[in-house]
A = this chain, B = another copy of it.
Amino acid sequence: MSENTSHQVLLVARPEGGVREGCFRLEAAPRPEPGPGQLLVRVIYLSLDPAMRGWISEAPNYREALPLGSVMIGFTVGEVAASRHPDYAAGDFVLGRQGWCEWALSDGGDIHRKLDPAEAPISTALHVLGHTGLTAYLGLTEVGRPAAGETVMVSTAAGAVGSMVGQIARLKGCRAVGLTGSDEKAALCRRDFGYDAAINYKTAPDLGGAIAEACPEGIDVYFDNVGGPVSDAVLERINVGARIVVCGTIGIPDGEAGEPPPPGPRPNRQLLIKRARMEGFLVLDHLARLDRLPAELLAWVGAGKLAFREDRVAGLENAASALLRLLSGQNRGKMMVQVGADPTLSRH
């Protein structure tokens, strides 16, 4: 790799019929130089997220699909390599949205905050102290609003968001029950993430019965990262006044090209009978809070009360295959790509 080269990954095809490696192409480009007011970021870690499926699809979404030919977008942790920006100096570590590249120019608008490696490993800015932590914290506390003693059900319970939701529910005095896609992840939920119970929805012979058994007092909050048949089974067992946080829909398959996703039971009748609330939550509405994380969240992480797992792959050239692994539920912890060397690691 030449000293003046920056590799980057472009989006080159839409994920019709599902995301595949061919949607992306690695290319080499000249390493850019910062102009006045700009800084050059060397990307160290790249976050991979289920929402990326939506970002690259032309199906209706909360923003326009990323144009073909663009560098793929994503949250990153990086080091400032050179700066002509008054707020940043070479050697600063930053949480930003530099995307799938080794080197990126920035005017500061896509940088969320500086990171202090002495406070926490810089990679945590991509999960417990980043957008997934914020998703779990705000989605659960502000939309789900659990009260002590209530039962909180979580889908993708071992994932980057789900594992945080389960732990925060427990810290709030709730019973936490997880839905996940393998026995290994169910064990992880119980052992590492403190869930009171965890269900492998793929193998449960009677999912509804398993949910009822794990939630003897019904479900008060459902933090839903999937939608689809698994969530239909949860909805049948909600209590009066339940809150359903719609945070992700990875369990609702893409429709075939131009076709809508497969239908399912309409929730209207159950929402009416149970006077329940189903509400969408999107952390992108709250990105300003990445620079002023909730004090309670910071305190929990500082006190070591929130366990986390990272699933790292090395090399930008493996980002696409790692994304596929995440989307198929085969990751073990927060999926991220180590794009470049992390000079802070020797300090810990």
Contacts and interface: CB of A to CB of B under 8 A. Distances in A.
When all copies of this chain in the complex are counted, the total is 2
Chain A contact residues: over half helix, strand or loop, or mixed? Answer: loop
Interface string A269-312: 11111111111111001000000000000000000000000000
Contacts of A273: 60-62, 280, 282
Interface in A246-286: 246-249, 252, 260-261, 263-282, 285
A208 interface: no
A249 B265 contact: no
Band of interface residues on A: 35 or more
Interface stretch (A13-21, A165-173, A224-232): A224-232
A163 to B, nearest CB: 20
A269 B252 contact: yes
Interface in A38-80: 60-62
A246 B260 contact: no
Nearest to A284: B275
Interface in A101-137: none
Contact of A275 (B228, B265, B282): B282
B227 A249 contact: no
A246 B271 contact: yes
Interface of A: 60-62, 224, 227-228, 231, 240, 246-249, 252, 260-261, 263-282, 285
- Interface pairs A-B: 8 shortest CB-CB: A227-B268, A272-B280, A271-B280, A263-B263, A277-B279, A275-B280, A278-B278, A264-B266
